[in-house]
Amino acid sequence: MIAAGLLQSGNQELVFFFSPTERNPSRDGTARLMPRITVIHPDNRWLIAIMGTLLQLCLGSVYAWSYFQKPIMVACGWSNAQVAWTFSFAIGFLGVAAAVGGTLLPKYGPRNLAVIGSVLYGAGNLLAALALQLHSLPLLWVGYGAVGGIGLGLGYVTPVATVAKWFPDKKGLVTGMVVMGFGFGALLMSKVIAPSLDEMFPGQLPKVFTGIGLILGTVGLVAASFLRNPPTSTAAATVEESVRPHLLSRQFVMMWLVFFCNIVAGIAIISFQSPLLQDLLRKVDPLRSPGALAASGATLIAISSIFNGVGRFAWGALSDRLGQLQTFRLMLLTQAVAFVVLIFTGNIWLFGALICYVLFCYGGGFGVMPSFVLNTFGPRLMAVCYGCILTAWAAGGIVGPQVVAWLKDLRGPSASVHAFALGAALLVLGLVFSLFCRDTRQCAAV
């Protein structure tokens, strides 16, 4: 059993970890279990938190995929659905790898897992560069989608779990900060990295993805090398025998479905927000140049990524007051209204504001769900249950982008109306599922 706390001496705060892990011989020659106290200087743990956030910032660049959706279609002659499968595979493998990574973390340690994740994500971008050079769609799916997606999943789960161990006194603050880094990744990609590489290599997508792979892989690798557990020895809890009934319970299934509905609505927008905005701009101003359209799409990606990141903080804080279930219901209901308004609006500014709000709620789901799982299933089962509930992310990452891609290929510019109507219906369905969930504000006694 581990105990942790905060000591204050003068103006300095020290974090201590107490663990009964050392055996010392007693006078009669028998071994006795003796306590061990480890004191950690706060500067050390903040460095780990910063590096964890930096790693998430690199990995979150996947949310800027819509920046490349149309350029790849034009360069290679592929359809919306064909290119969108790349993003769908990446998110699908992300969710599955994050669930697996949560079970591997105690065995292999955060540094090893994060390093592997960073290397795989960088390699995924390099394979995407090769695929675009060869005009090979299967290689793009395997490279960016499968290899990169597995790297994303292993890298995503590691900083959150690790940083929480270093901050027993500030878990909500630092985990929110780390997860927010993932939300800001699209801002980094759409406004800094991708435009800079586009300017250096105009019209040369293989070189652009090569640069992305080298930059993100290197920075991610450096950040990952700082991640480590606190200097305490812990025995991983054995939950295999008791977790199955919880995963098959109505509560878990309903929570999974609520999370899934919220994710599908948001990730469908993330994957196509730039093309959807460009379709609307063409209606308003048919003479606007392709370059101006692309720049407007990149700006929306950047701004909405800020809302995606901040939403993880804001909704998580609100859930401490309202409860996690009530917060999810509020997100689902207000988003459904936003999607209905999106069906009818032709105003560019209102369109952008509503897209940002949808991404604000999408990020909020990831800020609220960890504490929802914790309060429902208790701390002992939290890691396994949360890892399993992240499979909703994998499923949503496939369904959302593919439905919108299919609609765009079928309906062209008018597909947005059908996509927004479907999103509104799905959010209402999620609200119905939430009515079958229990509102548990106290940790379950497990």
**The predicted structure's pLDDT at residue 171:** 61
For residues 47 and 36, membership in a common domain is answered with no
For residues 34 and 49, membership in a common domain is answered with no
Confidence of residue 10 (pLDDT cuts 50, 70, 90): very low
pLDDT in tens, 328-360: 999 999 999 999 999 998 888 998 999 999 999
Compare 414 and 305 and report the one with higher pLDDT: 305
Q: Count the residues in the chain.
A: 446
Averaged over 292-306, what is the pLDDT?
Answer: 82
Q: Specify whether the CB–CB gap between 16 and 41 falls below 8 A.
A: no
For residues 409 and 266, membership in a common domain is answered with yes
For residues 429 and 308, membership in a common domain is answered with yes
For residues 229 and 254, membership in a common domain is answered with no
Residue 165's identity, in one-letter code, is K
For residues 395 and 276, membership in a common domain is answered with yes
pLDDT at 42 over 70: no
For residues 71 and 163, membership in a common domain is answered with yes
* 254/335 Cα distance (integer angstroms): 19
Averaged over 370-375, what is the pLDDT?
Answer: 80
For residues 17 and 28, membership in a common domain is answered with yes
Q: Specify whether the CB–CB gap between 404 and 268 falls below 8 A.
A: yes
For residues 337 and 432, membership in a common domain is answered with yes
Range list of β-strands (E), 26-170: 31-40
For residues 21 and 118, membership in a common domain is answered with no
Mean pLDDT of the chain: 82
Q: Which residue has the tokens 């901050």?
A: 167
pLDDT in tens, 45-62: 889 989 999 999 999 999
**The predicted structure's pLDDT at residue 136:** 96
Enclosing domain of residue 164:
43-236
Confidence of residue 158 (pLDDT cuts 50, 70, 90): confident
pLDDT at 120 over 70: yes
For residues 221 and 284, membership in a common domain is answered with no
pLDDT in tens, 313-325: 788 778 878 888 9
Averaged over 268-280, what is the pLDDT?
Answer: 81
Look up the CATH number of the domain holding residue 101: 1.20.1250.20
Averaged over 406-430, what is the pLDDT?
Answer: 86
Compare 35 and 217 and report the one with higher pLDDT: 217
Range list of β-strands (E), 129-221: none
Classify burial at 301, counting beta carbons within 10 Å of its beta carbon; exposed 0-12, middle 13-18, buried 19 or more: buried
pLDDT at 374 over 90: no
User: What is the share, in percent, of the chain residues with pLDDT greater than 70?
Assistant: 84
Confidence of residue 236 (pLDDT cuts 50, 70, 90): very low
For residues 271 and 368, membership in a common domain is answered with yes
pLDDT in tens, 168-196: 666 656 777 788 888 888 888 988 999 99
How many structural domains compose the chain?
Answer: 3
* 161/227 Cα distance (integer angstroms): 11
pLDDT at 434 over 90: yes
Q: Tokens in use for 439?
A: 């509102």
List Cβ<8 Å contacts ≥24 apart for 101-108. Answer: 101/153, 101/154, 101/156, 101/157, 101/158, 101/387, 102/157, 102/161, 102/383, 102/384, 102/386, 102/387, 102/390, 103/383, 103/384, 103/387, 105/157, 105/158, 105/161, 105/162, 105/383, 106/236
